[in-house]
């Protein structure tokens, strides 16, 4: 396979808007995340057109080298061809991330993806490092390869969250140079496919017993919030199944959080409601959030946790742009509305 660089002009984006929000939050996060700027110019290792079709879409399979030796495979689904003039054919794009990777979205969210494609939006599904097809063999238990990978990253002072955020920003750099995409209209979708634990579940159990409580998988929602904070082309953010707040993890000695989402010292820089507040006035929707025990948080509790973020949206003159636990509109239709698909 050959590789080709994405030029600095392409990586810089077409018509990139000036930063509007989050400067203070970015400065605080730098203390705990370290550098999240891409470490190298993104290289295109391979691009292939897939003969398969999903709802009539055209499929591109792309492999990017986002850092030396770090490959990010992705699939890019384009809506079926339209009869519009060529200058109108650039489509908005939704970038969807989760710990389960692109296979999780194709297997569990096919209906939502099909709705986005039918509405004229492209969908990008990347496998960031250690996710999806790049995931190392083994479990997330303390002896597993995933835990070893996360522990090594922490010992080197580069949390996996920061590394994956760099990967996501590398993917966005590639998309900004794509001739078929309108990169002034990007949305991020962070999801989880982990089933939550029931309300009455006993969490005081040994680590090695069978039928232990299920861990949450909040990485997708976390990366969606962080990606929107650092990349101003992001028009809207949708989070489903994410963590309500990291504060919920430290209240008890029993932790059901994957080690690869741990960010030492994060609460000294802020929590997830602070990230949400920093995105105002950009549209943000959050559904089915879980607490530290991977149990669904009730709506009234989520509204209390995110009161400061809702106040930030109100001060920004956009109280209706932050939505918590909406059941009236499907996530796909909400994303289409935010991207103002014509």
4-338 belongs to which homologous superfamily? Alpha/Beta hydrolase fold, catalytic domain (3.40.50.1820)
pLDDT of residue 12: 39
Determine the pLDDT at residue 77.
95
Structure confidence by residue, pLDDT tens digits, 169-182: 999 999 999 999 99
Dihedral of the CA atoms 243, 245, 247, 251 (nearest 10)? Answer: -50
* Helix segments in 178-265, DSSP class H: 219-230
Beta carbons within 10 angstroms of residue 316's beta carbon: 17
Q: Taking the model in full, what pTM does it have?
A: 0.90
Query: How would you classify the pairing of strands 181-190 and 234-240?
Result: parallel
Alpha-carbon radius of gyration of the chain: 19
Interior angle at CA 325, CA 75 and CA 313, nearest 5: 90
Angle between helices 110-118 and 331-338 (to 10 degrees): 30
Low-confidence ranges of the chain (pLDDT < 50): 1-2, 6-19, 83-87, 342
pLDDT at 51: 64
pLDDT (0 to 100) of residue 18? 38
The predicted structure's pLDDT at residue 52: 65
What is the DSSP-derived secondary structure letter of residue 129?
A: T
Whether the upstream peptide bond of residue 320 has omega within 30° of 0, thus cis, is: no
Provide the pLDDT for residue 204. 80
Structure token pair of residue 28:
């605080």
């Amino acid at each position: 396979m050959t590789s080709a660089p994405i030029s600095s002009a392409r990586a810089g984006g077409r018509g990139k808007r000036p930063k509007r929000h989050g400067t203070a939050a970015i400065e605080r996060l730098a203390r705990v995340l370290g550098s999240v700027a891409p470490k190298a110019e993104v290289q295109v290792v391979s691009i292939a057109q897939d003969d398969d079709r999903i709802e009539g879409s055209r499929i591109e399979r792309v492999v990017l080298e986002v850092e030396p030796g770090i490959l990010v495979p992705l699939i890019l689904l384009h809506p079926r061809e339209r009869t519009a003039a060529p200058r109108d054919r650039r489509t908005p794009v939704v970038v969807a991330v989760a710990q389960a990777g692109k296979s999780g979205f194709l297997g569990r969210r096919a209906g939502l993806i099909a709705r986005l494609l039918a509405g004229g939006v492209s969908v990008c599904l990347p496998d960031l490092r250690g996710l999806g097809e790049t995931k190392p063999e083994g479990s997330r238990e303390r002896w597993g390869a995933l835990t070893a990978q996360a522990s090594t990253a922490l010992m080197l002072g580069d949390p996996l969250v920061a590394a994956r955020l760099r990967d996501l920003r590398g993917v966005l750099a590639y998309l900004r140079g794509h001739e078929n995409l309108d990169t002034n209209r990007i949305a991020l979708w962070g999801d989880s496919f982990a089933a939550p634990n029931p309300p009455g579940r006993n969490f005081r159990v040994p680590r090695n017993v069978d039928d232990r409580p299920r861990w949450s998988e909040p990485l997708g929602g976390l990366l969606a919030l962080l990606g929107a904070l650092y990349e101003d082309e992001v028009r809207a953010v949708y989070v489903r199944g994410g963590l309500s707040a990291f504060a919920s993890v430290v209240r008890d000695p029993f932790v059901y959080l994957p080690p690869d989402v741990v960010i030492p010292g994060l609460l000294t820089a802020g929590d997830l409601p602070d990230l949400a507040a920093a995105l105002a006035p950009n549209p943000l929707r959050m559904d089915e959030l879980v607490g530290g025990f991977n149990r669904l948080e009730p709506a009234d509790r989520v509204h209390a946790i995110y009161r400061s973020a809702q106040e930030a949206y109100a001060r920004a003159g956009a109280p209706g742009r932050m939505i918590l636990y909406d059941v009236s509109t499907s996530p796909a239709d909400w994303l289409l509305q935010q991207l103002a698909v014509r």
